[in-house]
Amino acid sequence: MMLHTVNKSPFERNALESCLRLAASGASVLLIEDGVIAALAGTPAGDRIAERAGDLKFYALGPDIDARGLGDRPLIDGVEIVDYGGFVDLVVAHDAVNTWL
């Protein structure tokens, strides 16, 4: 199973959109850097993520959420926050990493 990472905001780039179009069932998606913006509740990206919430697992990198002052904002359901240690564990647990830039 693949671990996909998305590092750009859905408002800036189509990386998340393309990732969600091409990620195979059972894969995981980790939002990092500006990509954590997609985890905010109430944005169009949330709908895209919700469409795949049944067959993909979603994660967001906590340090990137905190850095952007988003720790006090409601996040969409089903996104698990991980730290860098958790990021490493995710990479170990998956067969390969697909970086969407």
- Residues of span 42-101 touching another protein by CB under 8 A: 63, 83-85, 87-89, 91-92, 95-101
Nearest-angstrom CA–CA distance, 42 and 57: 19
For 53, what's the count of Cα atoms within 13 Å in the CB-facing half-sphere?
A: 13
Q: Which is nearer to another protein, 13 or 43 (CB)?
A: 13
Residues that bind another protein in the complex, under the rule CB under 8 A: 1-2, 5, 7, 14-15, 18, 21-24, 27, 32-34, 63, 83-85, 87-89, 91-92, 95-101
